[in-house]
Chains A and B, each alone.
Chain A
Amino acid sequence: MSKVIKYSLLVNMIFIGWATMVQAYEVIDVNNGATISGKVIFSGTLPDPLWFDVDKNPEVCGQRRSLAKVEAQDGLLKGAVVILEGVESGKPFPKQERRSTGPGKGTFQYTGGATLGLKVNAENCNFGPFTGVVTPDEAVGFVNQDSIKHVLHTFVSLDAKGSVLRTLHNRDLHPNREIHRTFSHSKLKESRVVRMTCNRHDFMQNWLYAVQNPYFAVSDESGNFSIDNIPPGHYTLKAWHPILGLQEQEIQVTPGKALATDFAFSE
């Protein structure tokens, strides 16, 4: 056997070895699945939204933009990502589209199925909701629906609140174009928190949490979250907000049961 073939085999074996260390999620039929639901509570003083004077492309982005990093009403937090970790097989990823409620019309589109299938549609200088999810090792589509250039800059946050950010991608997003970028598992091994910004428009800021299964939810306007069709088992339930941090609790899920649990964050 030639040296080239031998070395190729060795390199392939190393890569296969690494690849198998990252366990893939498997879609199966879930019978008599359980549900976890609850509220995300916020206490403390709500920070004022940030205001930005737009100096680049105001004709598309508007003259002034606001960014509410924490949104809560009557003590109930919107936009917290709730994740059930440790589920290795279960329901398929959901198909959904989540639209930003702030200035601009960006959307996170999840095509669902065996994978998350995230597509970020930037529109009116807005990537989408302030928080969302992403899966490692899956190509994410970034679509610029604006007639101006954006510069997509993503980071992995080395802590839950984004105090230490390491660049992952830094790429021009030309008008009416789509690019694909992967958030590799190896880059997210230190942290699951991803930040997304536009270098040209500093008010375009979003956060993603890297999930490995479809058992996640984002709290709604009333702070509610619900995760259904969960196979029985012992899991870790986490609630994360990029400004308020991460909380977790251990959960024992029994078949067909509805489990209620809340998270409470304070500023």
Chain B
Amino acid sequence: MDDGKKTLLVGIRNMVLGLVVGSLAIGGSGVVSDAALLDGVMGGFEKSMGERAQAKGEQLVIGDFYPAERADSHGPIGAMGDHTHNEGEFMFTYKYMRMFMDGNRDGTKRRSKSDVLRDFAVTPTEMTTQMHMFNFMYGLNQTVTLTAMIPYVLKSMDHETRTGVKFTTKTSGFGDIRLGSLVRLYAFETPSIGSHRFHFNAGVSLPTGDIKATGATPLGVTRLPYPMQLGSGTVDLMPGLTYAGGLNDVSWGVQAIGTIRLGDNNQGYALGDEYEVSAYGAYQWAKWVSNSVRLKWKDWDNIEGRDSNITRRVGGMNTPLVPTAQSDLRGGERLDILLGANILFPEFMELENHLGVEVGLPLYQDLNGPQLESDYSFFVGWQIIN
């Protein structure tokens, strides 16, 4: 990478850092407290929209982020930070995620076990990642919703060696805790154009997940490769922008979120930065049930640096051990389609209850492989709002 590009990237990173830290600071201090960030500065737009609304005999409402109590008032359950809360409102979510990967892929082409074993001593064959997520959201004021997410992660990976020995490695424990602020930017709605809400996602992921997990392998108890570790080991910034809209029985949303690693972890590497864009549409069949379709594109970079405790090569021929131990075989991009359902239950003790389910299948995968390819992902979550 030339110096100019490096300087540009550092500049962009610092700008994002400033935005995230600024937003977190706004959240923490409550400096702006009684309005969305852009309320009162959109005079020209409001005047023009107001005139159009008046001509139709409608009302233009600005700054209403309160989603009506309906099944699709929250985005699909797999999305994070898709909506904000009113001052004093609290939401607890328990979410379970399961992702299953089966078989290997290099670029956009599948690779068989024997293909992988030509270049490596061991091939991963399948992997299951499960996550129990405990998510808290609190409306600090009219501007900021505070968020916290504690994940408990279980990973299991099956392998096969050149000699046909099969073995499984497993890890489990708490992952990286995420803290954040959702900063309301602007919202407007009229009956004919529907509601349109924008907020900024400012998150930080803390290195609480284990990055030294070990497991039993044919080589003995060794440090497990990168995908089996529970955390990144770095402080990661997670800036994003979310737009959500709705009109009558239809709702939609777009969200872009990045994960930017700050420096290397204490084992000498940094997971690759990640970028994710989701777009969804939902239809409510009745006030209590809706279905959604979501497209999620994700791009993630290779690992920078490497963990010297992860065995990379074995034997007299110095054969590469397993693709998952190679830091330059970790990047890729994937497009998933996710089908979801949201159900709004009757209130219990004045608490709003939502159930969400979402199942995702990959439409396209391009991996710096050989790498395990995704087969499906599944989310189910229960949300309780006071």
Contacts and interface: CB of A to CB of B under 8 A. Distances in A.
Contact of B59 (A149, A151, A165, A199): A165
Given A158-B46, A158-B50, A172-B386, A165 B61 contact: yes
B87 A171 contact: yes
Nearest to A190: B40
Contacts of A174: 350
A200 interface: yes
A167 interface: yes
A141 interface: no
Interface string B274-306: 000000000000000000000000000000000
Interface stretch (B19-27, B64-72, B169-177, B367-375): B64-72
A153 interface: yes
A166 B54 CA distance: 15
B54 A163 contact: yes
A230 interface: no
B50 A169 contact: no
A77 B179 CA distance: 55
Interface in A1-26: none
B62 interface: yes
A46 interface: no
Interface string A154-189: 010011001111111111101100000000100100
A148 interface: yes
B63 A151 contact: no
Contact of B50 (A148, A163, A168, A171): A163
B142 interface: yes
B86 A148 contact: no
Interface string A127-158: 00000000000000000000011010101001
A69 to B, nearest CB: 13
Contacts of B66: 151, 153, 170, 199
Contacts of A162: 59
Given A148-B350, A164-B53, A166-B39, A171 B88 contact: yes
A164 B60 contact: yes
Contacts of B142: 167, 169-170
Interface string A19-37: 0000000000000000000
B47 to A, nearest CB: 8
A151 B34 CA distance: 16
A200 B66 CA distance: 10
B89 interface: yes
B339 interface: no
B35 interface: yes
Nearest to A165: B61
Main secondary structure of the interface of B (DSSP, over half): loop
A164 B62 contact: yes
Contacts of B54: 159, 163-164
B350 A167 contact: no
B49 to A, nearest CB: 8
B356 to A, nearest CB: 22
Nearest to A166: B62
A167 B35 contact: yes
Contacts of A163: 50, 53-54, 58-60
A149 B66 CA distance: 15
B123 to A, nearest CB: 55
Contacts of B36: 167
Q: Indicate the member of B34, B65, B68 with the most A CB atoms within 10 Å.
A: B34
A164 B59 CA distance: 6
Interface in A50-75: 56
Nearest to A147: B350
Nearest to A186: B40
A199 B69 CA distance: 9
B59 to A, nearest CB: 6
A129 to B, nearest CB: 21
A159 B49 CA distance: 13
Contacts of B58: 163
Nearest to B39: A166
A123 to B, nearest CB: 17
Contacts of B89: 172
Given A163-B50, A171-B87, A172-B386, A153 B59 contact: no
Contacts of A159: 50, 54
Contacts of A149: 350
Contacts of A151: 66, 86
Nearest to B61: A165
Contact of A170 (B59, B60, B64, B68): B64
B350 A175 contact: yes
Nearest to B141: A171
Nearest to B69: A200
A199 to B, nearest CB: 5
Interface string A79-117: 000000000000000000000000000000000000000
A54 to B, nearest CB: 14
B48 to A, nearest CB: 11
Nearest to B90: A172
B46 A167 contact: no
Interface of B: 34-36, 39-40, 46, 49-50, 53-54, 58-66, 68-69, 86-89, 142, 187, 350, 386
Given A155-B63, A164-B49, A166-B61, 4 more contacts: A155-B61, A159-B54, A166-B62, A170-B86
5 contacts: A153-B66, A162-B59, A164-B49, A166-B39, A167-B35
Interface of A: 56, 148-149, 151, 153, 155, 158-159, 162-172, 174-175, 184, 187, 199-200
- Top 7 A-B pairs ranked by shortest CB distance? A167-B63, A164-B50, A166-B62, A170-B86, A163-B54, A164-B60, A165-B61
